[in-house]
Chain A
Amino acid sequence: MPSSGGRSIMVDEWSPPSPGPAGNGALGDRILTLDGITKRFPGVVALDNVSFDLRPGEVHVLVGENGAGKSTLVKILSGIYQPDAGEIRLDDRPVTLASPHAAQVMGISTVHQELNLIPHLDAARNIYLGREPLRGALGIIDWPAVYAGASAQLAALGMTFDPRTRVRRLGVAMQQMTEIAKALVAQARVLILDEPTAAITAEESEQIFRITDHLKRQGAAIVFISHHLEDATRIGDRVTVFRDGRNVATLPMADTSPRELIRLMVGRELTQQFPKTTVEPGAVALKVSGLTRRGVLHDVSFEVRRGELLGIAGLVGAGRTEIARAIFGIDPIDGGTIEIKGRPVVIRDPASAIKRGIALLPEDRKQQGLVLPLSVGDNIAMAAPGRLPSPPGLVPPSRRRRAAERFIAALRIKTPGASQRVINLSGGNQQKVVLAKWLLTEADIFFFDEPTRGIDVGAKVEVYRLMNDLLVRGAAIVMISSELPEVLGMSDRILVMRGGRIVAELDGPGATQEQVMTHAAGGGEAA
């Protein structure tokens, strides 16, 4: 419908309608205002009466723990979620961001953490996707204009790669640049960058910072979400701290420090929902030395004893789950040794890990832990058919059921029976089924990856008690969790990871959330 020429395609031509000279939007001059935004999901209030504004020419950083509400806010701003209450104003006019498309049309572009590019198309086609310049009455795509525009756009961002390169051949940083170029073509006035520096090198981060600088001088408003407080303090003009779905503070970056931000992010009392029992640790059950997987894990060494719960904390992407996957034989390792009960072992696949007594309760219960259409009994029997009292190769349904019934009773799995499909169980009971599966294999080294994710408070406590039972019986537990209170409340020792390395080891009972967050986010040294 639109003819060519009406659309600006060069960075230099691009300038928002309300320009602030040299990045100084006058105070009170707001592009975007959020007023009392509330978003509820079943069982959780993800955003609770959040207010927040964006000025032209500023980089506004959002920080908060995992699950504090940042992602929900981003999804509302990019039109993916609709708020249950509250108002969004663009240039002081109330607007509804009904869809991602609507948000883009209003000039709000988001570069999500999971990039939204089409891998098989080249960079230029991705940049212009959905807004290809057309030519003539037939509406033929003006490809020369697409490639010329993309080249110019990328050059303005300091990129030298060929816009004809297919996106899947580009590295993550260059893919991000492609997304940013796409946002610029869409004439974004508000650019949301969700964890842009999470998966790229320091050098590539510098490039991002230069670009944000450039853009804000042109009067755009940039929302920058990051777990890396150093990055945040470097480029942010203002910062908003989220905690438990609330905006707890909005401050000029100059008036605050990483220490204060961490305190604000954590700032909650540990509640007494962690029934920790301490067991005298026994012999070393699992010892890992120099575990390396290129680009993912670097020289990871630790040990865990019988009766001990080792917590692993860190931000998403720090390499916590990857440790469990490597030890369990899911991902191949490039170096390092694993000793179980003093004996060096080679683990090629999950089957050999199970044979050594290792169990993994994966972070994604439904995708990795359970076969949802199968019954409770079948799921429990799956990892250890040899342990059912039956002739080799046979797993009679009656035996599966009887074994399952034992665990249904012992773990108090709420199900009408062993033949119930697990898909019909609640999250907490599903987690118990996964645990029962591993109990049947007689594992004694347990990896719990996000053991209480998505299950309600009561069931959480039950899962903690089951962990205690395991410890009392001499099992060793490695618990990976993004919930700091859980890590602090249940661990005997805590390892903190950042960038695929173990950056700190803390004593469980003595550690504080501030300490853990400081190490995890790399915001200076702990007190």
Chain B
Amino acid sequence: MRAVRGTAARAVATDAVEGLGSGSPGRPEMPGLPGGFDPAPRRRFGGVDLGTVSQTMGSLLSLVILSLGIWIAEPVFMSDNNWINIARQASFNAILGMGMTFVILTGGVDLSVGSIVAVSSVTGGLLIFDYGWNMWPAVLAMVAAGGLCGLFNGVIVTLGKIPPFIVTLGTMQIFRGIALQLTNGSPRAGIRESAPNFDIWGTRNFWGVPSPVIIAAVVFVAGYLILRYTRLGLYTYAIGGNEQATRFSGVHIDRYKLTVYTLMGVTAGIAGVMITSRLNSSQPTVGNGAELDAIAAVVIGGTSLFGGEGTIVGTIIGALLMAVIRNGLTLMHVSAFYQQIVIGSVIILAVLIDRLRRRG
């Protein structure tokens, strides 16, 4: 039924395009180009545009080289178990990073995501402990709470015409304050015991894969498809690439920005569910500094902080790279203090390499 309707709509749309579309009676399948223009060889390989791949190529290469290096120094690094470990450690940051990728692609930023994670976590604790909610409705409410926070950011950014940096710098405090106020600042443990099965979001494995990794994978597929196949995706890039030209093309900028900030909130809500499940406790202080890790993953992944350019694949690689560095250095008994120095250097290096590559 649905398929039939889709086909009909498609046929109509095709006719409409050909109404005024072009001077020559163009068919959707072009039989070669008229006008004697010889198309130059495309930089395409197996349907993939190499131009966009090379953006993420640098970080991918770094990931591989780094992994090999750590492997040589510390063979246990390459074990299946350790990789599962790394993936699980990366998944929290990756999920936030994917929401952040959308925001940064539009030319914005969201500093409040760490606080939104806390709001999500506290919401869960409140509903489960004080109102006796079951796992499923509580989880949905946690994600929705994150979405609401994101929507709030979006509304202020679009209606108030205030730079996102400022807005989310403010809401970072506001959301954190709300989370602390609601709980009097103290964590509440024992979620799993009050809401059976809550552990499926953080600690359980399915088919040998930790659930956070599965969640991150689902978010990744959704994010990838949205960016590649939907109007939202096209306009996310377009708004960041040139907001004025996008507006002049009849795009309702505010509507799409609102959506993007809401999606960011939703991913933070999901991350809140994951961390609450993992810690088996609802904590108002959770996610402190998570926004900076997420931004770092996006930047290492090759997305431009000015917006318009970048990929979600890059962000995944960025998050993995950060997890690999932390994991590898820990295996090599490097202190956590050094780890911070290394991560910081990698952020700057990633952008520097990107700049040099662009100039060349």
Q: Which residue of B lies closest to A412 (CB)?
A: B35
> When the two chains form the complex, which single residue of B16, B24, B238 contacts A409, counting CB atoms closer than 8 Å?
B24
Q: Which residue of B lies closest to A377 (CB)?
A: B234
A350 to B247, CA, bound (A): 7
Least CB distance, B159 to chain A, in whole angstroms: 15
Least CB distance, A272 to chain B, in whole angstroms: 23
Q: Which residues of A contact B250 (CB under 8 A)?
A: 349-351, 353-355, 383, 441
A417 to B49, CA, bound (A): 11
How many residue pairs link A and B with beta carbons under 8 A? The number is 157
Q: Which residues of B contact A400 (CB under 8 A)?
A: 234
A391 to B237, CA, bound (A): 20
A369 and B248 contact, CB distance less than 8 A = yes
Q: Which residue of A lies closest to B11 (CB)?
A: A389
Write the A204-219 contact mask toward B (1 if CB under 8 angstroms, else 0).
Answer: 0000000000000000
Q: Is A527 an interface residue (CB 8 A)?
A: no
Q: Which residues of A contact B235 (CB under 8 A)?
A: 382
B20 and A439 contact, CB distance less than 8 A = yes
Stretch at the interface among B146-154, B172-180, B225-233, B311-319: B225-233
Write the A350-385 contact mask toward B (1 if CB under 8 angstroms, else 0).
Answer: 110111000010100001111111100010011101
Q: Which residues of A contact B10 (CB under 8 A)?
A: 389-391
B20 and A442 contact, CB distance less than 8 A = yes
Least CB distance, A441 to chain B, in whole angstroms: 8
Q: Which residue of A lies closest to B33 (CB)?
A: A409
Q: Which residues of A contact B39 (CB under 8 A)?
A: 416-417
A410 and B246 contact, CB distance less than 8 A = no
From known contacts A406-B30, A416-B39, infer whether A369 and B14 are also in contact, taking CB-CB under 8 Å.
no
Q: Is A440 an interface residue (CB 8 A)?
A: yes
Q: Is B208 an interface residue (CB 8 A)?
A: no
> When the two chains form the complex, which single residue of A394, A412, A441, A444 contacts B231, counting CB atoms closer than 8 Å?
A394
Q: Which residue of A lies closest to B5 (CB)?
A: A391
Q: Is B40 an interface residue (CB 8 A)?
A: yes
Q: Which residue of B lies closest to A475 (CB)?
A: B20
Tell me how many residues of B have a C-beta within 8 Å of chain A: 54
Write the B9-47 contact mask toward A (1 if CB under 8 angstroms, else 0).
Answer: 111011011011111101111100111010111111000
A387 and B234 contact, CB distance less than 8 A = no
> When the two chains form the complex, which single residue of A381, A391, A421 contacts B6, counting CB atoms closer than 8 Å?
A391
Q: Is A397 an interface residue (CB 8 A)?
A: yes
A397 and B228 contact, CB distance less than 8 A = yes
A403 to B51, CA, bound (A): 21
Q: Is B301 an interface residue (CB 8 A)?
A: no
A406 to B24, CA, bound (A): 9
Q: Which residue of B lies closest to A408 (CB)?
A: B33
B234 and A378 contact, CB distance less than 8 A = yes
B245 and A370 contact, CB distance less than 8 A = yes
Q: Which residue of A lies closest to B31 (CB)?
A: A409
A278 to B246, CA, bound (A): 34
From known contacts A351-B251, A406-B26, A469-B23, infer whether A389 and B14 are also in contact, taking CB-CB under 8 Å.
yes
Most buried by A among B49, B232, B241, B246: B241
A372 and B42 contact, CB distance less than 8 A = no
Most buried by B among A328, A350, A389: A389
Q: Is A268 an interface residue (CB 8 A)?
A: no
Q: Which residues of B contact A395 (CB under 8 A)?
A: 229-231, 233-234
A397 to B230, CA, bound (A): 9
A419 and B42 contact, CB distance less than 8 A = yes
Q: Is A330 an interface residue (CB 8 A)?
A: yes
Q: Is B287 an interface residue (CB 8 A)?
A: no
A410 and B23 contact, CB distance less than 8 A = yes
Most buried by A among B6, B33, B242: B242
Q: Which residues of B contact A169 (CB under 8 A)?
A: none
A412 to B35, CA, bound (A): 7
Least CB distance, A365 to chain B, in whole angstroms: 9
Give the top 3 A-B pairs by smallest Cβ distance, nearest first. Answer: A410-B22, A371-B241, A406-B26
Given A395-B234, A403-B28, 12 extra CB contacts under 8 A: A330-B247, A350-B250, A362-B248, A369-B248, A382-B251, A387-B13, A391-B9, A395-B229, A395-B231, A410-B23, A439-B20, A444-B20
Q: List 19 A-B contacts (CB under 8 A).
A: A355-B250, A371-B237, A373-B237, A373-B309, A382-B235, A382-B238, A382-B249, A390-B13, A397-B229, A405-B30, A406-B21, A406-B22, A406-B30, A407-B21, A407-B22, A410-B34, A412-B35, A419-B44, A419-B49
Which A residues lie at the B interface, using CB under 8 A?
328, 330, 349-351, 353-355, 360, 362, 367-374, 378, 381-383, 385-391, 393-397, 400, 402-403, 405-412, 414, 416-417, 419, 421, 437, 439-444, 469, 473
